Structure 1
Amino acid sequence: MKASTNKIKRPRKIQFEKSGYYFIGLLVLVLLGFWPSYFSKYMDGTANFNMYFHFHAVMASLWVVILITQPILIRKKKLAIHRSIGKLSYIILPLFFISVILLKHYRIGGQITENLGASLWLQTKDVVIIGIMYSIAIRHRHNVQIHARAMIATGIVFIEPTLGRFIILTILPEPDFFLGLAITVAIMYALIVSLIFIERKQKSGRWVFPTLLILFIIFHYLIFFQISFPLWDAFAKWFALLPIT
Structure 2
Amino acid sequence: MPYRHAWLFIIGLIAATVFAFWRSYFTVLATSPAGFHAHGLTASLWMLLLLAQSYTPHRGRMALHRLSGRAMFVVMPLFAAGSMGVLHSMAAGTGGGDPFYDLWGARLGYMDILAFAGVLYAAAMALRHRRNVRLHAGYMLSTALLLVSPVFGRVINQTVPGLIIAGPQDFPLFGWAAQLASACAALVALWLWQRDPRHGRPWAVALLVIVVQIIGFETVAAGTPWRAVFESLAVLPLLALMAFGLAAGAAAMVVGWTAVARRGGPRAAAA
What band does the TM-score fall into relative to the shorter chain?
0.7 to 0.9
Aligned to 1:32: 19
**Residue 132 of structure 1 pairs with residue 129 of structure 2:** no
Cα displacement string for residues 182-233 of structure 1 (whole angstroms, at most 9, x for unaligned residues): 2112211221222123224xx3x22221221112112321122234899977
Residues paired across the two proteins, number: 225
| Aligned-partner Cα distance in 1 for 2:224–2:180 | 30
Q: CA shift at 1:41, angstroms? A: 4.1
Confirm or deny: 8 A CA contact 2:36 2:89 kept in the other structure: no
**Residue 208 of structure 1 pairs with residue 191 of structure 2:** no
115-124 vs 161-170, which moves further: 115-124
| Aligned-partner Cα distance in 1 for 2:223–2:33 | 32
| Aligned-partner Cα distance in 2 for 1:77–1:27 | 23
Q: CA shift at 1:116, angstroms? A: 8.1
Higher Rg:
1
Aligned to 2:3: 16
Q: CA shift at 1:105, angstroms? A: 1.0
Q: How does 1:1-150 map to 2 (within 5 A)?
A: 15-41=2-28, 47-109=30-92, 111=95, 120-150=109-139
Aligned to 1:167: 156
Q: CA shift at 1:123, angstroms? A: 1.6
| Aligned-partner Cα distance in 2 for 1:55–1:230 | 28
Confirm or deny: 8 A CA contact 1:59 1:99 kept in the other structure: yes
Confirm or deny: 8 A CA contact 2:35 2:87 kept in the other structure: no
> What is the root-mean-square deviation of aligned Cα atoms in Å?
2.9
Cα displacement string for residues 149-169 of structure 1 (whole angstroms, at most 9, x for unaligned residues): 001100111211111111124
| Aligned-partner Cα distance in 2 for 1:206–1:170 | 33
Does the residue aligned with 1:37 lie in a helix, a strand or coil? coil
Which of 179, 183, 186 aligns to 1:186? It is 183
Aligned to 2:255: none
The verdict on how the C-alpha distance between 1:66 and 1:191 changes in structure 2, with shifts beyond 3 A counting, is same
Confirm or deny: 8 A CA contact 1:36 1:169 kept in the other structure: no
Does the residue aligned with 2:25 lie in a helix, a strand or coil? helix
Confirm or deny: 8 A CA contact 2:20 2:154 kept in the other structure: yes
The verdict on how the C-alpha distance between 1:185 and 1:138 changes in structure 2, with shifts beyond 3 A counting, is same
**Residue 195 of structure 1 pairs with residue 192 of structure 2:** yes
**Residue 226 of structure 1 pairs with residue 217 of structure 2:** no
Q: CA shift at 1:69, angstroms? A: 1.1
| Aligned-partner Cα distance in 2 for 1:109–1:102 | 11
TM-score, with normalisation over the residues of structure 2? 0.72
Code of the aligned partner of 2:89:
Y
| Aligned-partner Cα distance in 2 for 1:92–1:222 | 29
Identity among equivalent pairs (%): 23
TM-score, with normalisation over the residues of structure 1? 0.79
Aligned to 1:177: 174
The verdict on how the C-alpha distance between 1:231 and 1:134 changes in structure 2, with shifts beyond 3 A counting, is farther
| Aligned-partner Cα distance in 2 for 1:52–1:230 | 24
Code of the aligned partner of 1:37:
S
| Aligned-partner Cα distance in 1 for 2:231–2:155 | 31
The verdict on how the C-alpha distance between 1:31 and 1:236 changes in structure 2, with shifts beyond 3 A counting, is closer
Confirm or deny: 8 A CA contact 1:149 1:208 kept in the other structure: yes
Confirm or deny: 8 A CA contact 2:193 2:204 kept in the other structure: yes
Code of the aligned partner of 2:211:
I
Confirm or deny: 8 A CA contact 1:160 1:184 kept in the other structure: yes
Confirm or deny: 8 A CA contact 1:119 1:226 kept in the other structure: no
Q: CA shift at 1:80, angstroms? A: 2.0
**Residue 154 of structure 1 pairs with residue 155 of structure 2:** no
